[in-house]
Amino acid sequence: MSYDLMVFEKTKVAANKKEFMSWYEELCKWEEDHSYDDISVSSPALQNWYAEMLKSFPAMNGPDAVSEEELAKDEDLENRVSDYCIARDAIYVAFSWSQADNAYTIMRDLAKKHGVGFFDVSGEGDIILPDGRKIE
């Protein structure tokens, strides 16, 4: 099992938690017609968030994945490698549980910085907009 968090394009989601969760359930069917490791399908804000997030939590798969050679050189890197699932309006990330606190903090801070929403999938379920308001 993994520790999961998500960022989302704030302009694409509903104003209340019930509607957000319906949107989330549809998103998690993963039925969009593209590869889910292609960042070019996402908004500029999500692309910018992703580029900065990779510095702390490199990708496990896809074109941005760290190589076996890189993993062999850095023992800590293996703990931080994360699985990104990239949709048009959201990026879902699965982390190692050992990285939960650090992942939450960095991901939420970068969400605010890049103007995207944040969803605490594995934790309390908070849905937080870039301005700090929670969707209730």
Edge to edge, the sheet with strand 3-8 lists 83-86, 90-95, 3-8, 117-119, 127-128
Exposed/middle/buried for 28, CB within 10 Å: 0-12, 13-18, 19+? middle
Over 80: is that where the pLDDT of 63 sits? Answer: yes
Whole-number average pLDDT of the chain: 93
> For 73-100, what is the mean pLDDT?
93
CA–CA gap between residue 6 and residue 90 (Å, rounded): 7
Over 90: is that where the pLDDT of 11 sits? Answer: no
At 49 the three-state DSSP class reads: helix
